[in-house]
A and B are shown apart, each in its own frame.
Chain A
Amino acid sequence: MAGQEQQQPQSRDTEVEEDIPAPPAAPEAQASAATQGVDDLLDEIDGVLESNAEEFVRAFVQKGGQ
C-alpha cells in the first residue's frame, strides 16, 4: 500500500553534502588558538571597560538592601 511505502526524505538540494570533518589540529595549534581566543576577548573587553577603574569602582556606593 502506498501508505506503507518508504518515504524518501525530501531534500531541498539534489546534491548530497557530506560533512567532511576537518583534520584535528595539532595540540600546539589548539593551545595557541585558545590563547588567541582569550586575547581577542580581552582586547574586546578592554574596549568596553569604563575608563578610570579606580574612580569608577570607588564611586559605586550602594545604600541598604535586603
Chain B
Amino acid sequence: MRVMGSETEYGIHAPSAPGANATMMSARVIQAYAQVTRQRAAGGAETRWDYTDEEPLHDARGWTLERSEAEPEQLTDRPPALDAEAVALAYGRAELDHDGEDESGSLLMNMVLGNGARLYVDHAHPEYSSPEVTNPRDAVTWDAAGDLVALAAVRRLAADPELPPINLYKNNTDNKSVSYGSHENYLMPRSVPFGEIARGLTPFFVTRQIMCGAGRVGLGQDSSRPGYQISQRADFFETEVGLETTIRRPIINTRDEPHATADKYRRLHVIIGDANLSQGANFLKFGSTAMVLSLIEAGLAPRIEVHDPVAALQAVSHDTSLTATLRLLDGRRVTALDLQWMYFEAAAKLAQDTGVADAVDGDGHTHAVLERWSATLTELDSDRAAAASTVEWLAKLSLLEGYRQRDGLEWSDARLGLVDLQWADIRPEKGLYHRLLARDRMQRIVDDEAIARAVTEPPSDTRAFFRGRCVSRFGSDLVGASWDSVIFDLPGRGKLQRVPTREPLRGTEALTGGLFARHREAAPFLAELLGLPPGS
C-alpha cells in the first residue's frame, strides 16, 4: 500500500528502585537486549547508529530551525553521550556504573537489529522504531515484534541478581503531566503540498481516536479531574501545526527528515496516535491513515474544516458516548462518527475507482482495511460489545466498568489507575491486555508465530531487508547503520565503506536475496554489490 513504520517509546519503571535515573535505566534495557542478541547471533547482532543523515530541524514548511533556537531535546542528530548533561536532562539520581559498557568503554545507547529495526535510548525512554513495511498488517506484526524485543530485555534484567528488575509499559502518559510518544511514519511523494496534507489530515486526526484510542483514566494532563477518556495523548496537544514533538505538541508535525531521496519523498511524521496493544486498532490506525494520505495525494480528501481542532480533539476524547458534535467552519455540526464516515466513503470510492480494493486484482490489503473500518464504525454506533474486541479504549473501559460495578469504585480510585497502567505492562503474565488476549477477548490480526519470527526476520519488501540481513550476517564487519545507510569496516581496508540505501523500496529480498545467498563473507558480498573487482 505505502511504505510505513512505527515508533514506540516505552514507559519505564523499576518498582524496587524508586528515583532511579530514567536514562540510565533505558540504557540498561538496550544493553540487556544486546546481551540477548549476542547469545543468539555469533559475532554480535548490534550495530551502531549512523547519524549522518539525521535532520531533526528541517521543517516541512520549507525552512530550518537554527540550532541555537532549538530545544535540547530536538537535537536528535548527535549521538547521545551519557554525560552530566544527559543525566541532568533526565533529572534523576545518577547511577553511572560500568556494567553496561561495551568494548570501547561507552554505554550502548543505540542498536540496529537483525529485523531492520532500531532500538535506542530516546530522552528518558527505551524506544523501538520498527523496520519499514509496506502495509498495515506488516506494521502490526513488526510493531508487536518490538514488544517482544522489549520483553526479552525485561526478562534478561529480571534474571540479573545485580540489577533491579525493570518494567516496560506500552502506554503514553504517567498521568502526572508527562507524555511520551508513539509515532507513525508514512512515505509520501514530495510533490504533495504540505498545506494540503495538513488540511486533509486534521479533521481525520481529530476523530480517528474513536477507532484507535487506547483509553485513559483521568482527565487533563496531570489527570487531576476524575473520569475516563478515549485517548492517551489528546490532552497533551496544544497547537495545530509545528516542528516540536516534546513541547507545544502539534496535531500535524512538520519534521522534514525524509531518510530517503529528499527531492522525491517526504516522510510524514505522525505524533498524535496512541500506542496500541490491540492489533485490530493498530491495523486500522495504519490502514485508514494510509488511505487518507492517498485521498490527499489524489486531491480528493473531504473538504472539511473543524473549528478549533485542538479543543475538538480533546472534546472527542472526553466524550465516550460518541454523541458530542463538532462545529465545522461551514456551520454544520457533526459527530466524530459522522466525520469518520465521510472519510471512509471518500476512501472507499477512491479505492473502487483505482481498483486497489479489488478482491482479485487489488493490492491485497485495502479491501481488509475498508471492511474493518466500516465494521468498526458500525459497531461503535450500534454494538459496542462487539467493538470491544478490537477498539482498545472500549476493551479497557469494559474492564474498568466491571471493577466499578463489582467493587463500587469511583473514577478517582487508585485501583482503576492501576488497571489503566497495568493494561500496558508488556509481560504477558502481568499485562491486562495480554490477559484478555489469552482469553480471546481481543482479536488477533496476525498469529503469534509471525510476530515471533519478526523479532529476528526483516520484512522482505523494503530496504529493511538489506539492513537487517547485513546486521544478522555481517554484524562484526559493520561499524554503523541507519535508515538510509549501512557502513562496513572490512579488515585490511583503509577506509569505511558506506552503502547508501536512499530508496525505501530497493534492497528488498527480490533484489538482494541472491546476493546474500551467494556470499557468506562480507568482502566478496560488498565487492559484488558495489561492482568492485575481486580483492580490490
Q: Which residues of A contact B (CB under 8 A)?
A: 38-39, 41-42, 44-45, 48-50, 53-54, 56-66
Can you list 21 A-B contacts with CB-CB less than 8 angstroms, sorted by A residue number? A38-B402, A42-B406, A45-B432, A48-B435, A49-B415, A53-B415, A57-B175, A59-B13, A60-B13, A62-B12, A62-B173, A62-B178, A63-B23, A63-B90, A64-B73, A64-B90, A64-B123, A64-B124, A64-B246, A65-B9, A65-B246
Pick from B314-322, B418-426, B475-483 the stretch touching chain A.
B418-426
When distances are taken between beta carbons in the complex, the residues of chain A under 8 Å from B436 are 41
0 or 1 for each of B89-105: is its CB under 8 Å from A? (1 = yes): 11110000000000000
Q: Of residues 37 to 95 in B, which have CB atoms within 8 Å of A's CB atoms?
A: 73, 89-92
- Residue contact A63 to B91, C-beta cutoff 8 Å: yes
Which parts of B1-39 form the interface with A (CB within 8 Å)? 9, 11-13, 15, 18, 22-23
Distance, CA A38 to CA B439, complexed state (A): 11
Q: B207 near A: Cβ within 8 Å?
A: no
Q: Give the interface segment out of B179-187, B293-301, B359-367, B464-472.
A: B179-187
Instruction: Take A39-B406, A45-B435, A66-B245 as given contacts and tell me if A56 and B9 are in contact as well, using a CB distance cutoff of 8 Å.
Output: no
In the complex, whether B174 has a CB less than 8 A from a CB of chain A is: yes
* B residues at A contact (CB < 8 Å): 9, 11-13, 15, 18, 22-23, 73, 89-92, 122-125, 169, 173-176, 178-181, 183, 245-246, 271, 399, 402-403, 406, 414-415, 417-419, 421-422, 429-430, 432, 435-436, 439, 441
Which residues on the B side are within 8 Å of A64 (C-beta)? 73, 89-90, 123-124, 178, 180, 246
Q: A53-B417, A66-B9 are in contact. List 17 more A-B contacts (CB 8 A).
A: A38-B402, A39-B406, A44-B435, A49-B415, A50-B15, A50-B418, A53-B415, A57-B414, A57-B417, A60-B13, A61-B178, A62-B125, A63-B91, A63-B124, A65-B180, A65-B246, A66-B122
B181, A65: Cβ atoms under 8 Å?
A: yes
Distance, CA A39 to CA B399, complexed state (A): 10
- Assess whether B414 is in contact with A62, with CB atoms less than 8 Å apart: no
Contacts of A58 on B, CB cut-off 8 Å?
Answer: 414
A42 to B415, CA, bound (A): 12
Q: Across the interface, do B92 and A63 meet the contact criterion of CB distance under 8 Å?
A: yes
Select from chain A the residue with minimum beta-carbon distance to B122: A66
Rounded to whole angstroms, the CA-CA distance of A58 and B432 in the bound complex is: 19
Report A63 CB to chain B, min CB distance, Å.
4
Which residues of A sit under 8 angstroms from B122, Cβ to Cβ? 65-66
Contact between B124 and A62, CB atoms less than 8 A apart: yes
Contact present for A66 and B123 (CB under 8 Å): yes
Residues of the A chain whose Cβ atoms lie less than 8 Å from the Cβ of B181: 65-66
Q: Within the assembled complex, what's the spacing in Å between the Cα atoms of A56 and B179?
A: 18
> Which of these, B176, B178, B402, B418, contacts A42 with CB under 8 Å?
B402
Chain A residues contacting B169 (CB-CB under 8 Å) are 60
Q: Are A63 and B22 in contact (CB under 8 A)?
A: yes
Q: Which 8 residue pairs across A and B have the least CB separation, nearest first?
A: A65-B180, A63-B124, A66-B181, A54-B414, A62-B174, A53-B418, A66-B245, A53-B414
Within 8 Å CB of B415, what residues of A?
49, 53
Bound-state CA distance A54–B406 (Å) is 19
B residues less than 8 Å from A50 (CB atoms) = 15, 418, 422, 430
Are A63 and B406 interface neighbours, CB within 8 A? no
Take A61-B174, A64-B178 as given contacts and tell me if A49 and B419 are in contact as well, using a CB distance cutoff of 8 Å: yes
